[in-house]
Structure 1
Amino acid sequence: MQTWQLPEHIADILPERARQLESVKEQILALFRVHGFELVHPPLMEYSDSLLTHIDTGLSLKTIRVPDQLSGRQLGIRADITPQVARIDAHLLAQNQGINRLCYSGSVLHAKPDGFLTTREPYQTGAELYGCTDTAADIELIDLMLKSLKTGGMANTILSLGHIGVFRAIATAAKLSDSQSNQLLAMMQTKDREAVRALATSWQLDDIWTNALALLPELYGGREILQAAKQRLPQLSSVTQAIDVLEQVCAAFPEQAIHIDLAEVRVDNYHTGLLYAAYAPDHHDAVARGGRYDGLGAYFGRSRPATGFSFDLRVCGEYLAASTRPEAVRVAVADYTKAIDKINELRGNGICVVVDYGVADNSGSLKRLVWQGNKWLVQ
């Protein structure tokens, strides 16, 4: 094995791509800032208990664990920044009883890739809003998500909406156990209506609940799906409330392409209500995901309503134009000390100045800093 080889689904980011990603990162963080979101930098590693690995099966499988040689406790390398931000809101910012708007951008590490073409080291970027139960907060975050993706080169996105509350209301009414609910949650992702029906039938559920569960994989499409859901699903108050929330979101984005999927009930245990995602042309999976996760902070000592989204900044690189290296000015190594004041002036104005050692390099610069007419000039 070559010592320079990296693990599977792990890759270096080379200069052109790195310039591109850092540039779009700056723009997106600036966008977050003008919308009132404050930047936080949670640590890459924490005690594994703090990363919710023991209460979220999906997250647990993604988390890499190592022993801490200082404390003897188990450490986890973060696989998701959202729980860390919930900890910050619940504990470090507990003095604020109102709304906290927080954002972040940093690497996470997955034990296994989510798919054949995905990296194990996404550059997770996102925003979270704590302290508001109103659907208007979800709408604010969805709007910010779409603006962020547009900044990252993805203008023609499709907004996908779901609501975990629909499934959970039916599961509760049918008196399903946690184990049964989890089996159906996984099955819903495949849209296999007959498999859902067969499993529900084997549990001898009442027909009304068996039919409702088997119907969910069919309830996907455009905005008209919500009317069909109202007519065909059981008249449970929680189902009605969930559909009302979805209708409010649809009304807030009249010009946006929207896809409704009531079987979109992803396996993150901490999500509690509205689910939203964005899809871009020619991409195999969602380019951003978010949703409501009320009460997650209770694990850290303060239960708070919350909604937020995140995406892998690396995906933006696939949609952005190639980044060119800034043009540089060369200065001969023999002149460097004598020209230092001019060099500092140029660099202070954002102009790249490189030292010419007389050896070929990759700067590609044709401009030079020379002494002429008793002053330093760029030629």
Structure 2
Amino acid sequence: MRNWLLPEYIEDVLPAEAARIEQLRRRLLDLFRSHGYQLVIPPLMEYVESLMTGTGHDLDLATFKVVDQLTGRLMGVRADITPQTARIDAHMLNAQGVTRLCYAGSVARTQPDGLAQTREPLQVGAELYGHAGVESDIEIQRLLVKALQAAGVQDLHIDFSHVGIFGSLIGQGRVSDALEQQLYDVLQSKDQSALRALAVDLDADTREALCSLTELNGDISVLDAAARRLPATAEISQALQDLRQIGEQIASLGVQVSFDLAELRGYHYHSGTVFAAYAQGYAGPLALGGRYDEVGLAFGRARPATGFSLDMRGLVTALPPAVLARGIVAPQGSDAALLMKIDQLRAAGEIVIQELPGHAEHRAELDCDRELVLGEQGWQVVQIAAAGNAAAIL
């Protein structure tokens, strides 16, 4: 048996990629902090009731489950940090006004997904609680744009939908839970003929409106078409108005915006606008988000909520390779001036590696392009010379 083999879709993150992930993590958390989002670090495991509460069945199959040896209760390894932040907001912080939270941590999923096709994504996200208006949705989406731009992603494209439109049509048609799930499944594949067959017993207006959703995708003109083709219920009218306001605001940032009213990602979890961010050259969504006002209710306090998350491992995997900073090699020794120079360089952000005895022949493995040498002016950093070239003092 090869003891060094890892399970399928579980991988080590080696130094070069780990350095890029950590740099991006710091950059994003600093960005979130500058916008007032406070960092929380929820536990890796919780009782399954807490992890699943408010999320319907969306996370059930994705969650690894284990028996707690202390209590005998069933525990889950988190597959998504968002429900945990909702619990923290509703039950732990108990703020009355707006709360802004952010996080960065590993999650585990039973099946691989995302750009990296891994079962251990590194999830980073921001969540806003306590405000139900479209203004908080726009704030979250602006922050998402800044986060992806900070990661080096260009030519962003965000696709929007609103689960309230489908919900309003289902309510109007008095659809059973079983049929609702079937209609939802077929709608995701945009199979209009199958949709029409399923909806054969619904009233004609509801049936035609559901079928229209499969065709309502494209630029902002889709919203005008939706206003003409869908019932003018208060919920649908408000949803279209919110989508228009959001689309105009995000498009003003130079981001391409589109709408797909049949896209109901997270329907059992979200309650309003949902969105996915894409960019040219990437095989799938870079980030996902939306409004989920009902989740906090299960933790004792219903709070409006909106947010987004992304997988840093997938994002880094998809980005072009970055040139990482190389280090300075220093000789072994306890000379006070040498140690002081090393400390000064490290304090300035340089990587300084002090050689150990007997390893001079492995210097190339240290990935250093400069070295500390003792000259007339004391310890100085010089470029490591290629064969036949003189070293340059930096």
Q: Shorter-normalised TM-score: what interval?
A: over 0.9
Which residue is equivalent to 2:30?
Answer: 30
**CA RMSD between the two structures:** 2.0
Query: Residue 257 of structure 1 aligns to which amino acid in structure 2?
Result: Q
Which secondary structure does the structure 1 equivalent of 2:366 belong to? Answer: coil
- Cα distance in 2 between the residues matched to 1:115 and 1:148: 18
For residues 207-231 of structure 1, the C-alpha deviation after alignment (integer angstroms, 9 at most, x for no partner) is 1111111111111111111111110
Does the 8 A contact of 2:115 with 2:318 survive in 1?
Answer: no
Unaligned runs of 5+ in 2: 383-394
Measure the CA separation in 1 of the matches of 2:120 and 2:43.
15
Q: How far apart, in 1, do the equivalents of 2:328 and 2:116 lie?
A: 40
Q: SS of 1:173's equivalent? A: helix
Equivalent runs, 1:200-279 vs 2, <5 Å:
200-201=199-200, 204-255=201-252, 256-279=255-278
- 2:40 and 2:140 map into 1 onto residues whose CA distance is 17
Tell me which residue corresponds to 1:10: 10
Give distance in 1, aligned partners of 2:248 and 2:369.
Answer: 56
2: CA distance between counterparts of 1:112 and 1:169?
32
Match of 1:70 in 2: 70
One-letter identity of the residue aligned with 1:136: E
Query: Which range moves more in the overlay, 301-310 or 111-120?
Result: 111-120
The alpha carbon displacement at 1:115 in A equals 6.6
Distance 1:254 1:115 in 2: 25
**AA matched with 1:196:** L
SS at match of 1:291: strand
- Letter aligned with residue 62 of structure 1: A
When residues 336 and 170 of structure 1 are mapped into structure 2, their CA distance, relative to the original with a 3 A threshold, is farther
Shift of 1:284: 2.4
Residue type matched to 2:7 in 1?
P
Q: What is the 5 A alignment of 1:141-156?
A: 141-156=140-155
Shift of 1:368: 3.3
Q: CA deviation at 1:138?
A: 0.3
Tell me the alpha carbon deviations over residues 223-270 of structure 1, each in whole angstroms, 9 at most, x when there is no partner: 111111110112222111111111111221344311111111124522
**Distance change in 2, residues 1:182/1:267 (3 Å):** farther
Aligned 8 A contact 2:271 2:291 in 1? yes
Which letter maps to 1:31?
A: L
Contact 1:90/1:300, CA 8 A, preserved across alignment: yes
- Shift of the 273–55 alpha-carbon distance from structure 1 to 2, 3 Å rule, reads closer
In structure 2, what is the Cα distance between the partners aligned to 1:374 and 1:284?
Answer: 55
What is the rounded CA distance, in whole Å, between the counterparts of 1:165 and 1:276 in structure 2?
13
* Structure 1 residue 336, shift from structure 2 partner: 6.6
Which whole-Å CA distance do the structure 2 matches of 1:275 and 1:111 have between them?
Answer: 24
Q: Is the 8 A contact 1:157 1:278 kept in 2?
A: yes
Q: Which moved more, 1:97-106 or 1:229-238?
A: 229-238
**2-side partners of 1:298 and 1:198: how far apart?**
36
Structure 2: how far apart are the matches of 1:128 and 1:209? 34
Residue number in structure 2 paired with 1:40: 40
Note closer, same or farther for the CA distance 1:118–1:137 as it changes in structure 2 (3 Å cut).
same
- Separation in 2 of the partners of 1:212 and 1:156? 33
Give the 5 Å matches for 1:1-379: 1-52=1-52, 56-94=56-94, 96-114=95-113, 118-201=117-200, 204-255=201-252, 256-335=255-334, 339-357=338-356, 358-359=358-359, 360-361=362-363, 362-373=365-376, 375-379=378-382
What does the per-residue CA deviation read over 1:138-196, in whole Å, with 9 as the maximum and x for residues that have no partner? 01111111111111121211110100000000000100122221121121110101111
SS in 2 for 1:102: strand
Moved more, 107-116 or 332-341: 332-341
Q: Using a 3 Å threshold, how does the CA distance of structure 1 residues 55 and 13 change in structure 2: closer, same or farther?
A: closer
Counterpart Cα distance in 2 of 1:336 and 1:259: 64
The one-letter code matched in structure 2 to 1:7 is P
Ranges in structure 1 where 5+ consecutive residues have no aligned partner? none
Q: Percent identity?
A: 42
How far apart, CA to CA, are the structure 2 residues paired with 1:328 and 1:213?
Answer: 60
Give the match's secondary structure for 1:58: coil
Q: Secondary structure at the match of 1:282?
A: coil
